[in-house]
A = this chain, B = another copy of it.
């Protein structure tokens, strides 16, 4: 955890000692009064916290950065994978800074994926939070579940730079063609690949079908690699602004 995400209320009240974040900071990392760590308010400012007291709750003062870190103009559409894979996708795309992650139920997917506790009990949120904390970022992706690819496509800007990864029908390698818009949409099929209907829908919606070479990557690896190649092409990465140590 490179940064601890808090609510405004936790910031003013302090963290109970049984809170997992307090246990991590005081127990695992071994911080003491006067020590510092990075904190952030979800989708808002981040700053450097200095511990004021460790009893009866963990309290701290915070020197906030002046500017809020920008969101990254990337939406990723993913065919709903098995829960174990979905957790990695949620974490890794949150680390990358995706603005939005849209999962849709696929024609070739397993209906059981949608009813796992990851979705039913809202466990998905902890994976995007952890991904943002890993990235030392306060910006947490919006996560959307759609019943169909059609519904997912209704939720994106039509003017976006749209790429679908498709190792079987791709005409170009990702990276060969320049971005067509300053905001990217990447579509990743389910583990068993796109159905003919889904592929036709992507083409109708002006997605370029691209590949990542002739090696077949796992869904989570393709999502991460595809996102990072598109972001690299968009040239929107600011020079890294590290927080004061």
Q: Which residues of A contact B (CB under 8 A)?
A: 2, 69, 72, 92, 95-97, 134-137, 167-168, 170, 173-176, 211-218, 221, 224-225, 228-229, 231-233, 235-242
Contact = CB atoms under 8 A, between A and B. Distances in A.
Number of copies of this chain that the complex holds: 2
Contact of A228 (B72, B167, B225, B235): B225
B2 A216 contact: yes
A71 to B, nearest CB: 11
Contacts of A240: 167-168, 170, 211, 213-214
Given A96-B217, A229-B232, 13 more contacts: A95-B216, A134-B217, A135-B215, A135-B217, A170-B240, A175-B235, A213-B240, A214-B239, A214-B240, A214-B241, A224-B224, A225-B225, A229-B229
A136 B218 CA distance: 11
Considering the complex of A and B, which 6 residue pairs feature the smallest CB-CB distances, nearest first? Answer: A175-B232, A135-B215, A213-B237, A225-B228, A173-B237, A214-B240
A228 to B, nearest CB: 4
B216 A173 contact: no
Contacts of A224: 221, 224-225
B69 A214 contact: yes
A168 B174 CA distance: 28
Which of A92, A213, A218, A233 lies at the interface centre, i.e. has the most chain B CB atoms within 10 A of its CB? A213
A187 to B, nearest CB: 17
Nearest to A70: B214
Contact of A211 (B72, B95, B175, B239): B239
Given A218-B95, A237-B173, A213 B231 contact: yes
A222 B78 CA distance: 21
B136 A216 contact: yes
